[in-house]
Every structure is written in structure tokens, then in C-alpha cells.
Chains A and B, each alone.
Chain A
Amino acid sequence: MSLNDAVFFLLAVITAGSALGVITSRNIVYSALLLVVTFLGVAGLYFQMNAGFIGLVQILIYGGAISVLIIFAIMLVMDVEPHRTNPPSPRLPRRLGGIYLSILLVITMGAAIWFTHWPLAVGTTGADEMAVLADLMLGKYVVAFEIAAVLLLVAIVGAIILAKGADDK
């Protein structure tokens, strides 16, 4: 087993282990914090695959902003004792429904991965990927780039309107 494999297994164990912790933890705050570990583990996997920029996005957006959003959302609605915030469902039909959906998801994604032909990437990777991305983003796809700004604007305005409405003001 090479060092590369060892790093992969370490990252995979961290990611899968913390993901398991998210669903088994009784305290939803612990679940949220373990979810951050999962995000960071996935970021580590991206780095290992030499997709540095995606790894950076994963850390900055998911590890940073999304996790803060999740924790604030929990803080907004938290109104019971902390150890009862994330209980398992006691009803058998619901559990079976969850298992059914999980199996369906695993089969769908597994089949999608298995039957897709993955050609090896040709061309620049690593340090150059950012340059390629910048050239495409500000050159060929500049309209999409500016529309992304409009989308972000709509997201900000929509979020404020939703939250203000909830505030009864």
C-alpha cells in the first residue's frame, strides 16, 4: 500500500466515520459539528485528487459558510433539551422508509458511477487549473459569470425578505 492509498484510507475513514456520527449523535449540535468534519474530510479527498481549487471551495463555502448557517438555523429553533434534539424515529414504517430511500440512493449513485466511462484528464492540472478557470470565467463564459452575481444578489434579497417576514416586523 503506497502512501497515497494510506492517505486516502485515512481521509475516507474520517469522512465516513464523522458522517456516521452525524446520524447517530443524539445532540443535533454535535451532529452539525461532525458534519463540518465530514466537509473537511471531503475537502481532503479533493486535495488528494489534485483538485486544489475545488478543495478550497469546499473548505471556504461548506466548511465555513454553510456550517455556520446550519448551526445558526439550529440556534434559531432550538427549544428542547440538547440531548433530545436528534432522536431516532421510534416508528417502524418511518425507519423502513428511510432504509428504502437510502438503498435506492446507493443503487442509483452506484450505478451512475459504475456505468459511466471515466476518461483520464488530458491537459493542465494543479497550479494551472486556476488560470484556466479564470480565463474561461472572464473570457468565454463572462455572461454566465455576471449572471452568477445577479443570482447571488437575488439570494441576498430573498433571504432578507424571508427572515424579515419571520421576524414579524
Chain B
Amino acid sequence: MLGDYATIGIFLLLTILFPLAALGLAWVVRPKPLPDEEKLTTYECGVDTQGRTWVRFRVNYFLYALVFLAFDIETIFLFPWAVRFKALGLFAFVEMLVFIAILLTGLWYAWKEGALEWY
């Protein structure tokens, strides 16, 4: 029962250990100077940081996330249907088309209202 997930568990363990090993190895061989002001500056593509790092972001990010959430849930509904696609047949296919059509109305509305515009 747990055996099927053992592969995932081993992968998980490896993904945790691998970066730790890389960082640890780098720590062993790298020079360790005391941190000065220059070293502690926030990295921003090599140029000096302008203003504060913690600022408010635009509402656009939130709109994108909300639209993403709705279509993420749609994916969840699509998944069992895709698994059983052959057995379910044409009627289920039409049902799914209706389902997607309703959600595409939402995407059309978001588009119309300019929620996807980046200004």
C-alpha cells in the first residue's frame, strides 16, 4: 500500500539532500570573509537598490492569481474525466465541453474587463 509511494518518498529525500549537499560542499571550500555592507546589500541585477524592498504590489497580480485559481480547480475536474475518457464516451465529452464553455465565458469576461491587461 505504501510501496507505491516509496518511489516518491525516495525522490523527496533526494531533492532535500541534494541542495543541502551542494551548499554544504560549497561551504567547506569557499572563503569565508566577514559580511560587510556591500555584501549585505539586496541583490538587484547588479545595480544599487532604489527605494525600499518591501513595497505594495499592484492589484493585477491578485487578479491573475484569482483567474488562475478558477482554472486550477477546472483542471481538478478535468483530471478524473481524462482518466476515464475512453469508458465514458461521447456524452461525457459533450458534458465536459459545456463545462469548459461556461468557464471560458469567465475568461472572456476577464479579458473584456481588462483584468489580463498589464498597464
Contact = CB atoms under 8 A, between A and B. Distances in A.
B84 A130 contact: yes
Contact of A60 (B63, B76, B95): B76
Contacts, number: 144
A19 interface: no
A169 to B, nearest CB: 9
Contacts of A155: 66, 70
A117 B76 CA distance: 30
A163 B72 contact: no
Contacts of B75: 60
A167 B59 contact: yes
B62 A134 contact: no
Contacts of B63: 159-160, 163
Given A78-B54, A166-B59, A167-B59, A160 B65 contact: no
Interface in A49-81: 50, 53, 56-57, 60-61, 64-66, 68-69, 72-73, 75-81
Interface string A80-107: 1110000000000000000000000000
Contacts of A131: 80, 83-84, 87
21 contacts: A57-B76, A69-B65, A72-B61, A75-B61, A76-B59, A77-B56, A131-B84, A134-B92, A137-B81, A142-B95, A149-B74, A149-B98, A152-B70, A152-B106, A153-B106, A159-B66, A159-B67, A163-B63, A163-B66, A164-B113, A167-B59
Given A61-B69, A79-B56, 9 more contacts: A72-B62, A78-B56, A130-B83, A133-B80, A134-B83, A139-B92, A146-B99, A153-B102, A163-B115
